[in-house]
Structure 1
Amino acid sequence: MIKVCETDAVADGEVLRVELDGLVPLAVYNTEGEFFVTDDTCSHGDASLAEGFLEGTEIECPWHSGKFCLRTGRALTFPAVEPIRVYPVTLEGNAILIPTPTGEAVPRGCSGECRPEEAGTNATPART
């Protein structure tokens, strides 16, 4: 497991960009006490998703308004058509942890709207 950051580094409704040696930049999200981690770079362009607009469990890219589901990584709105990588999150005390990334993650289990009941996804939100 890799420690990404502490929970208190990400206020509710906020996104934090994290750069760790040997990994692509990551985005850490806190939405109503649930924490998610994705790759930070939009799949449509080189925009930082941490600079985007968080609404519930969706992040909107600041450049072209493509939206992604934080639970699955699925692209929800055009021009984004490729998913972003999501990581299962584990909370250990105050630490936000993800598994060491290996290979490509393929989002699954989302039928168009980003809803908790469509679990069976790559991302497991962690609650405080």
Structure 2
Amino acid sequence: MTAHRVCALSELEQDTPRRVEVDGIPIAVVLDSNGEVHAIGDTCTHGDISLADGFVDGETLECWAHGSAFSLISGKPLNLPAFEPVPVYVVQIDGDDVVIDPTVTKALP
């Protein structure tokens, strides 16, 4: 297992994406309004745009550039122009640490 501490839970702002990089992999970490922490691939599949610069609405993260929204749960795009999903990573909370293993992704439903 190659899990890495990416930030403190207390450093995350609700509904505000945070970009982290683990083993060269860009990941957007989001604390949603329900208190759940999500980690998805940070690069929009429509363009080479950081999703961490986007907008959180419930359980979605919208790319600021072209408006594609991605599910924080499944990584699936919810509208065009994106049609390819982004990876969703397993998040563990260890005390106040947010820990992500970039080699472990959730299976798409």
Cross-structure match for 2:10:
8
Aligned to 2:92: 90
Matching residue of 2:27? 26
Which structure has more strand as a fraction of its residues? 2
**2:67 matched to which residue of 1?**
65
**CA distance in structure 1 between the partners assigned to 2:72 and 2:90 by the alignment:** 11
* Structure 1 residue ranges without an equivalent (≥5): 110-128
- What's the C-alpha RMSD, in Å, of the aligned pairs? 1.5
- Is the contact made by 2:61 and 2:70 (CA closer than 8 Å) also made in structure 1? yes
* Equivalent residue for 2:50, pick from 48, 51, 56: 48
**Residues 1:76 and 1:107: Cα distance change in structure 2 (over 3 Å):** farther
Q: Structure 2: any 5+ residue segments left out of the alignment?
A: none
- State the SS of the aligned residue for 1:99: strand
Structure 2 contact 30–38 (Cα < 8 Å) conserved: yes
Determine what percentage of the aligned residue pairs are the same residue.
36
Q: Secondary structure at the match of 2:10?
A: helix
**Is the CA contact 2:89–2:106 (under 8 Å) kept in the aligned structure 1?**
no
* TM-fit CA distance, 1:76: 0.8
Structure 1 residues 91 and 54: alpha-carbon distance in aligned structure 2, compared to 1, 3 A threshold: same
TM-score, normalisation: structure 1: 0.76
- The alignment partner of 1:101 has SS state of strand
Shift >6 Å, 4+ stretches: none
Report the CA distance between 1:100 and its aligned residue: 4.0
TM-score by length of 2: 0.89
Partner amino acid, structure 1, of 2:37:
F
Tell whether the 8 Å contact from 2:89 to 2:102 is kept in structure 1 after alignment: no
